Structure 1
Amino acid sequence: MPKIVFLDTNTLGNDVVDQLEEFKKLGDVTFYDSTSPEEILTRVKDVSVIVTNKVVITKEIMLKCKHLQLVAITATGTNNVDLLAAKALNINVKNAVNYSSESVAQQTFAMLLSLVNGIYSYDQRVKSGQYSEESSFTWIGNSFSEIAGKRFGIIGLGNIGTRVAEIATAFGAEVVYYSTSGIARNERYKLVDKKELFSTSDIISIHSPLNVKTADFVGENEFNLMRKSSILINTGRGGIVNEPALANALNKGEIKGAAIDVFAIEPTPLDNPLLKINSPEKLLLSPHVAWASKEARKKLLEITYANIKEMKLN
């Protein structure tokens, strides 16, 4: 019976335990909540399948795994596995794609609407009792703007970016996009260059992978191009937005606000400048959770199960 090891099940949540049990039909399975770099080799050296989300699998590790046939990644990104080494060693690497489009799109708009509409400040106004003391039936506060009629710029028009574009269109926004690969993705939306996207968009939403082309893609120069009334959303990948530059842009009022779900280092260090901006209400943060609706995680495990099953392990 092939040996299968899950190295970081805590990334999948506690509400999918029953689904994890299904993997026992495929072999002798061992589950670990998390795995430190020092523990990796001991846990994988005799297995046929490694299942990992964020645990890094290096060439050195794979060289010592004589029975390893597959590294199954419970994510879309493959940057935690040395792909060149795996190919040279004839080890299959399979990821999961298009499982979280609805989840990420939903969280993108949840964060955007909360930020744009000032939901927290209105909620607090009522719960604090201040609204009860008003002389008027309404308290407008700092007001909010509609998405309808705004230019909605998307960086990366893959499965998730396209779903965000569809929802933005339903709100009445004009959708434009920038292709980090240089390939036109969808004739329904206008393809623009980087300068036009940053200088003309009211809302910019990031949905591209992190690679050599997109690392620090949004920095000081881009914030200088953006409108003072514009909002940046990143539910794509940490490292695409330069975090010190974003903090500086918010502090200087170069943009109106930002919503960030992903960070250059995760979990976020306490000295991250985004945790110390002058006006915290301009910034909405979440802990890399946009991908993780229960439905998305269920689909992710279904894809991973199929990836292992179709290998016909020895």
Structure 2
Amino acid sequence: MAHHTPIKVVFLDRDTIPAHITLPTLHHPHHWQSYPATAPGDVIDRLQHADVAITNKVVINEAILTALPKLKLIAVAATGVNNVDLAACQAHGVQVCNVQGYATQSVPEHVMALIYALKRQLMGYHADVRQGEWQKRGQFCFFTHPIGSVAGSTLGIIGKGALGEAVGQLAQAVGMKVMFAEHQGASHCRPGYQPFEQVIQQADVLSLHCPLTDKTRHLISQDVLAKMPQHAILINTGRGDLVDEQALLYALKRDQIGGAGLDVLSQEPAPDAHPLVAASLPNLIVTPHIAWGADEAVHTLAQQLIANIDGFFRGAPQHTLIDALD
């Protein structure tokens, strides 16, 4: 494409990035249009003349791609791309790039925060104090919830990408023993991995850092939860559908596992009636998909997002996910 031709760029869900974070300006001549959010029915209309679609969570599927012959690039403003049909993009000659490695401090810090909060029962004690329990007890301290230690416990990690590795490093720094799980049902273990079954049976804390695919959907099932130690804590900062949420609620209510810290749910935003939001359990913490969102991380994301688009039109594409375009 000739360098002087302006490209049309449309950001479908700008509100997924904090308003106080400014996006860098594209070097390539361009027309820029951004929308706070985009409903499924408006995607085709808004991308009708676009060369580039920027999406964080808006779904772009086969039907949408078929209606947009002009589209050349989908720039995903996140690492996970389960909202984009990659096979359809390949078939339609549309390149896809994502942002990588931007949250390798932000996410692990959130994971550790959830581990500490659950192990030390911060939520339970905070609630007790607010409800007047301390005054009632008449002692300088009181113990209504058992307090666990983080150091010396075993962290099982599912997913050994940049985030899984970074979480492992932080966990080791605070004295945790770290195990990486091999794929479920794998016949042999790669170096640096341990069998899936062994990890879920031995981990005091299990943290999920694998992509959501057909193979990993409901990876944490009723069966897996039943095999975890009774005191074990589940942390999910990946994607909500990695966990069978009904099975998790059942396990938490019946003290099958010790607790859960979730930054993601199967439906986002979660409806009021979402069972895990409605359940007010002292050993369950739900945060609104913000593990990635430390200001520094978002700045890095914004820079990489724009660099991905510039690189593509400069003929030096980076972070591309479609190997060979016809």
Deviations 1:211-233 (A, max 9, x none): 12211111111111111111111
Q: 2:23 aligns with which of 16, 19, 25?
A: 19
Segments of 4+ in structure 1 off by > 6 A? 183-186
Which residue is equivalent to 1:222? 224
Matches for 1:106-185 after TM superposition, within 5 Å: 106-126=109-129, 130-131=133-134, 135-180=138-183
Instruction: Give the superposed CA RMSD.
Output: 2.3
What secondary structure, in the 3-state scheme, does the structure 1 residue paired with 2:246 have? helix
Deviations 1:278-306 (A, max 9, x none): x6102111111111111111111111111
- Runs (5+) with no aligned partner, structure 1: none
Give 1:180 deviation, angstroms: 2.8
Does the CA contact (< 8 Å) of 2:202 and 2:229 recur in 1? yes
The question of 1:94 aligning with 2:106 is answered no
The question of 1:46 aligning with 2:73 is answered no
Q: Which moved more, 1:64-73 or 1:137-146?
A: 137-146
Does the CA contact (< 8 Å) of 1:2 and 1:313 recur in 2? no
Aligned length: 308
Which residue is equivalent to 1:72? 75
Deviations 1:117-175 (A, max 9, x none): 12234345555665467544333432411111111111112111111111111121111
Give 1:58 deviation, angstroms: 2.2
The question of 1:301 aligning with 2:302 is answered yes
Q: Which moved more, 1:22-31 or 1:231-240?
A: 22-31
What secondary structure, in the 3-state scheme, does the structure 1 residue paired with 2:241 have? coil
Q: Which moved more, 1:78-87 or 1:7-16?
A: 78-87
- Give, in whole Å, the separation in 1 of the partners of 2:86 and 2:131: 54
> Matched residues, percent identical?
32
Deviations 1:231-289 (A, max 9, x none): 11111111111000000001111011111111112111333222344x61021111111
Does the CA contact (< 8 Å) of 2:11 and 2:53 recur in 1? yes
Going from structure 1 to structure 2, the CA distance change for 1:13 and 1:24 (only over 3 Å counts) comes to farther
Which residue is equivalent to 1:281? 282
Name the TM-score, length of structure 2 as normaliser.
Answer: 0.87
Amino acid at match of 2:223: N
Does the CA contact (< 8 Å) of 1:157 and 1:179 recur in 2? no
- Runs (5+) with no aligned partner, structure 2: 1-5, 316-326
Give 1:308 deviation, angstroms: 0.7
Going from structure 1 to structure 2, the CA distance change for 1:274 and 1:129 (only over 3 Å counts) comes to closer
- Give, in whole Å, the separation in 2 of the partners of 1:194 and 1:51: 36
Which residue is equivalent to 2:321? none
Amino acid at match of 2:312: M
- Give, in whole Å, the separation in 2 of the partners of 1:124 and 1:85: 49
- Give, in whole Å, the separation in 2 of the partners of 1:180 and 1:298: 33
- Give, in whole Å, the separation in 2 of the partners of 1:136 and 1:125: 14
User: By percentage of residues, which structure has more helix?
Assistant: 1
Does the CA contact (< 8 Å) of 1:23 and 1:29 recur in 2? no
Name the TM-score, length of structure 1 as normaliser.
Answer: 0.90
Going from structure 1 to structure 2, the CA distance change for 1:217 and 1:45 (only over 3 Å counts) comes to same
Amino acid at match of 1:148: A
Greater RCO between the two (CA within 8 Å, min separation 6)? 2
Going from structure 1 to structure 2, the CA distance change for 1:222 and 1:112 (only over 3 Å counts) comes to same
